[in-house]
Amino acid sequence: MLDEKLIPSNTDNNYAPLPDGSDSPASRRSPTKVLLVALCGLVMVGVLLASMGCNGGSSRDVHAKTGGDGDVEASLPNSKEAATAIPHMPISRGVSAGVSEKSNHQFLRGAASFPWNNSMLSWQRTAFHFQPEKNWMNDPNGPVFYKGWYHFFYQYNPHAAVWGDIVWGHAVSRDMIHWLHLPLAMVADQWYDINGVWTGSATILPDGQLIMLYTGSTDKHVQVQNLAYPADPNDPLLINWVKYSGNPVLVPPPGIGARDFRDPTTAWYTSEGKWRITIGSKVNKTGVSLIYDTEDFKTYNMIDGMLHGVDGTGMWECVDFYPVSIIAENGLDTSINGQGIKHVVKASLDDDRHDYYAIGTYDEKTAKWVPDNPKIDVGIGIRYDYGLFYASKTFYDQNKKRRVLWGWVGESDSEAADVRKGWASLQSIPRTVALDQKTGTNLIQWPVEEVESLRLTSKNFDNVKVTPGSVVPLDVGTATQLDILAEFELDKDAVHNTAETNGEFSCTASGGAAQRGALGPFGLLVLADESLTERTPVYFYVVKGNDGKLKTSFCTDQKRSSQANDVNKIIYGSFVPVLDGEKLSLRILVDHSIVESFAQGGRTCITSRVYPTKALYGDARVFLFNNATETSITGSLKVWQMNSAFIRPFSNNRSL
């Protein structure tokens, strides 16, 4: 139980819910402190807020997908209009309630839906990725290791396979792979979260107490931060949760839109003995992370300025902030600071629905963070994953001294198909995340080692030569649940003889695996049927630059992943650093409708959702392919069949 002495009676609650959510509510903190001055003085991000008029505004404007990597642009006027204008158009979900769009708007333009049948749809359910028994899931919430159990909470709609009525789902595991579903942890039962128990984070205090901070959407759709804690701290399953009687503990400060204030981070300790958190927001088009200090998690002081902000990046959701070591392999507790440490800032950009991170330096005194390289700043540089991966959150796993990353992996088929399936969304396989000490400029992500406990039989393929323009079947039997490790070498003479070019290659702008170059594409075809009418290439594409150096991209091409037309077929990918002397390496986890791929030990990652109509059950195969025109490649692989994790409800008569 949270020390009740720390909980003051809620006497200073001058919070006034807004009539229409279009204005900033009065702050519980002394309004004489003109926080706006701090916000308005954002010289660091080149933004000058002249007056009180810098209200970030409500999120009523339905945002459009930017189409940055090929997403279909969907600029919707508003849900009602849209629904009447075009009958096929799915309704907008989330935006009018004050969060980002949760519907898949890709199949608006009258694409006739494919005649999916039940066996195809039920095949899409995964075997070793976390998903609830049914209905809609989105962001990971408050992941934590507590009294021998990994806890996972998640944004959940108990009523339907589409976003809405959001509460906290809850599951526990000994290994982050085998999960037991528990009852809902928190439901929308208070005025301050009646429109949604939204995303939040866990903090473990030095004495072992656990607290949760989460965003509630109030009866007036104002985004406020709330405190909750376990009803019985001795219960390792943390079944029951208590919401603090003085909630909300934070409301949007002056100058911040009532619907632009969400997703508190895990708190970290300052050398002054206070706890510090950051919360994502925006000021006009500048994405920002506001920063607060607290001693008791009930009253907070907003710090002048902000942790960081980047012009033009829009609303920052699900900000994450954590230290990484430049020396040690292990992960670091969120409060660790000092020599040999860099800090990561991650924001989930509401405008393009991608998770961007940057590595930099945090100054505790000024409560500011600066990126190592201003060109690789948050929201304009690198991403955790170049596929479908959003609203992620890390936690420090004190059990195995590692930092673990969870990310929400949505569906990229039609909403109508999700409703028929009765479920929507997965979580990525949890990934350890650490600084890449070889490059120093990116993180390394890798599936937690526990996933290897699912490996069954394996087959090795050593030094398989694949000539230009050919495909080699890999006889691994059924290929719907696989863990694949592969290494490739290019032909040295071909590389030497290849002409230099100043042409830039981009996976997303390319023609995919059908675009042949001298030194690529080559890699694997997963979820392919025997005749290759359906296939999902996961591959490298190498270009020899003007300086004679090779530049490597890592891509996934969904163009021919399905004969259905109502599924996402875009090409994902990005650059991947390859250092001198390194072979090209990749790992792929195939689990029915999800393909998670990691290049060069996890420097560049791509998560893809694919929905084949033929390459399923016993008809799914895997092939090596080389569509380069000049180089042959030599591949060595190990391919495991993967067991199912049999994720199921917790039953009381199971022994712990």
Ligand X SMILES: *[C@@H]1O[C@H](CO)[C@@H](O)[C@H](O)[C@H]1NC(C)=O
Q: Which residues contact ligand X by CB under 6 A? A: 47-50, 53-54, 117-120, 284, 471, 513-514, 516, 525, 537, 625, 627
Which pair of tokens denotes residue 614? 């033929």
- Angle among Cα 330, 201, 654 to the nearest 5 degrees reads 80
- How far separated are the first and last CA of the chain, in Å rounded? 23
Q: Among positive and negative, which fits the CA dihedral 89, 93, 95, 97? A: positive
As measured in angstroms, the least distance from the Cβ of 144 to ligand X is 38
| Among 69, 71, 139, 377, the one annotated catalytic | 139
Q: Given strand 604-609, what is the order of strands in its sheet?
A: 455-466, 633-642, 481-490, 584-591, 594-599, 604-609
**How far apart are CB 50 and ligand X at their closest, in Å?**
5
Nearest approach, Cβ of 537 to ligand X (angstroms)? 6
CB of 61 to ligand X, least distance (A): 12
Give me 617's structure tokens.
């059950």
- Cβ neighbours of 504 (radius 10 Å): 11
The residue (of 306 and 435) whose beta carbon lies closer to ligand X is: 306
> Which is nearer to ligand X, 177 or 527 (by Cβ)?
527
Is-catalytic flag, 139? yes
Q: Please give the Cα distance from 448 to 602 (Å, whole number).
A: 12
AA identity, residue 66 = T
Minimum distance of ligand X from residue 559's CB (angstroms): 9
Closest to ligand X by CB, 387 or 512: 512
**36 or 391, CB closer to ligand X?**
36
CA 610 and chain centroid, separation: 18
Q: Which residues contact 61 (CB under 8 A, 6 or more apart)?
A: none
DSSP character string of 275-299: EEEEEEEEETTEEEEEEEEESSSSS
Q: How far apart are CB 122 and ligand X at their closest, in Å? A: 9
Q: Dump strand ranges (E) for 174-266.
A: 179-186, 197-204, 210-217, 223-230, 241-243
CB-wise, 118 or 655, nearer to ligand X? 118
Minimum Å gap between C-beta 257 and ligand X is: 11
The span from the CA of 484 to the CA of 471, in Å, is 17
Helix (H) or strand (E) holding 169: strand 167-173
CA–CA distance, 238 with 168 (Å, rounded to integer): 13
| 3 state DSSP class of 38 | helix
Question: Which three-class secondary structure state does DSSP give residue 328?
Answer: coil
Rank residues 49 and 324 by Cβ distance to ligand X and give the closer one.
49
Choice between 136 and 611, CB closer to ligand X:
611
Closer CB to ligand X, 215 or 627, in the complex: 627
Q: Toward ligand X, which CB reaches closer, 246 or 573?
A: 573
Q: Count Cβ atoms below 10 Å from residue 73 Cβ, excluding itself.
A: 9
Q: Is 98 helix (H, G, I), strand (E, B) or coil?
A: coil
Nearer to ligand X, 284 or 441 (CB): 284
β-strand 341-349 against 223-230: which pairing, if any?
A: unpaired
Residue 209 CB, nearest approach to ligand X (Å) = 41
Under DSSP, the state recorded for 232 is -
> Considering the complex, what minimum distance in angstroms separates the CB of residue 469 from ligand X?
7
Q: Over 300-346, what HEC string results? A: EEECCCCCEEECCCCCEEEEEEEEEECCCCCCCCCCCCCCCEEEEEE
Amino acid present at 169:
G
Shortest separation between residue 515's beta carbon and ligand X, angstroms: 7
The pair phi, psi for residue 445, each rounded to 5°, is: -120, 140
- For 517-566, the DSSP string reads BTEEEEEEEEEE-TTSSS-EEEEEEEEE-TTS-EEEEEEEE-TTS-S-SS
Closest by CA to 638, choosing from 452, 513, 497, is 452
SS3 52: helix
Positions marked active-site = 139
